[in-house]
Amino acid sequence: MLASMPWDLARHLPWTPLQSPLEKWAVQPTFVIGEYLFYACTIAAFVHARRHGRAHLLVFLAALLAGTANDVLFMALPMVDNFWQAQATIMLTPRLPLYIPCVYVCFMYFPTVTAWRTGLPLLPRAALTGMLAEVFYGPYDIVGAKFLWWTWHDTDMPIANRLLGAPIGSSMWVLTFVFAFSLLLGLGLRKDPEAKQRATSWRALGFAVAGSSALMVVQVQAMQPLDGGIPGPRGLCVLLAIYVGLVAWGWGKRRPPGFEADDRTLRRFAILYFCTLAAIMAFADPATHKSASMHQTYGPCHVEAKDIMGFTRYQYVCAEDFDEDYTFDCVEGRPEAMAQWYTVCGKPHSSFAAFMMGVAGLCALGLAAYGWLLRPRTPSART
């Protein structure tokens, strides 16, 4: 039986820890760009954190640990497991590319320290952090799925409602997970904002790593009854309305940051990030992409299983009855029965204009938000 645990090295599978970027470029060029874009942004975040001291370094470390733990946890639970990563040029295991921990650092560190610059009170700041995280993650969520950087479970109900291929549940997860991360980290740092005491660092780190996923689940479950028990558009809109309301309530209570901030590095890499994702969507062709990796197990149609919420889903993907943004047309024959490792092929845009407008709009919003909040200022300047 093929192993599917995220930490299993699975030596019987045709994966390799290191792959030539040129070989990967031949079949999935945008993925190579995305992978090394996140490496670059992570290095920029670390340089920024080192420059700004212990509290910023704590955010970097907490994002790395809390994010990676969350990813591994949800891959490991069979009733939750609903996504499979493509093979990057650097793999830690068959299911975990090195760049994925970097993704967490980026969409958690960038929003967290950006929201700090506003001087908002703790709860409104956490709400703003969650929204900034979704603005950061949203374009990646659309581009990555379209260009086969990962594939989703075909019939899992929590990810059934999608916008431009990205599950609404994924957006709600980002909003609530990073909200929880910011809130718990802030609670840990409340009496010692600069983390000067070692006990403060350990407390804040423990809060963020141990509690972020649990608090995320509580928030998402509270919204799910609005859409029949699964993440959907009503829940997302209500969640956004609550967060916007919190930010609006706290805006008049904000205080100037009590430190001199040099955010030029973070600002420049945020601009690079959004421009790169918009350019990928504008100029790359998803139909030329192939992903040979682990995917949802290929097997007989309509074999029922239960997800973690008790909903029925089909355990296997089958060629006769699936509705994902990939095909098997670029390879000879179908995958072998019960195969977890096989090749899928990208599909042309069903509506290039819609995908381009969606990604361009999110990237423009990201450029405006991060460009403004990370602009040069003095300690006394109000945001």
CB 110 within 8 A of CB 37: no
CB 25 within 8 A of CB 98: no
Q: How confident is the model at residue 381 (pLDDT cuts 50, 70, 90)?
A: very low
pLDDT beyond 90 at 128 = yes
CB 298 within 8 A of CB 334: yes
Q: How confident is the model at residue 260 (pLDDT cuts 50, 70, 90)?
A: low
What is the predicted pLDDT for the residue at 40?
A: 98
Comparing 80 with 365, the larger pLDDT belongs to 365
Q: How confident is the model at residue 380 (pLDDT cuts 50, 70, 90)?
A: very low
pLDDT beyond 70 at 184 = yes
Closest by CA position to 137, among listed 180, 166, 113: 166
Q: How confident is the model at residue 3 (pLDDT cuts 50, 70, 90)?
A: low
CA angle (380 as vertex; 375, 383 as ends), nearest 5: 45
Comparing 135 with 257, the larger pLDDT belongs to 135
Compute the mean pLDDT over every residue in the chain, rounded to the nearest whole number.
92
pTM: 0.94
Q: How confident is the model at residue 383 (pLDDT cuts 50, 70, 90)?
A: very low
In the chain, % of residues over pLDDT 70: 95
DSSP E strands in the chain: the ranges are 83-85, 91-93, 96-97, 150-152, 162-163, 166-167, 290-294, 304-306, 312-314, 326-327, 341-346
Model confidence over 276-325: pLDDT tens digits?
999 999 999 999 999 999 999 999 999 998 877 788 899 999 988 899 99
Comparing 205 with 257, the larger pLDDT belongs to 205
Hunting for tokens 């590095």 — which residue is that? 265
What is the predicted pLDDT for the residue at 303?
A: 94
- Could you give the CA distance from residue 98 to residue 226 in angstroms, rounded to a whole number? 37
**Bridge partners, 18 (sequence order):** 90
Compute the average pLDDT of residues 175-204: 94
What is the predicted pLDDT for the residue at 8?
A: 75
Compute the average pLDDT of residues 20-41: 98
- Could you give the CA distance from residue 3 to residue 17 in angstroms, rounded to a whole number? 16
Q: Is 344 helix (H, G, I), strand (E, B) or coil?
A: strand
End-to-end CA distance of the chain: 57
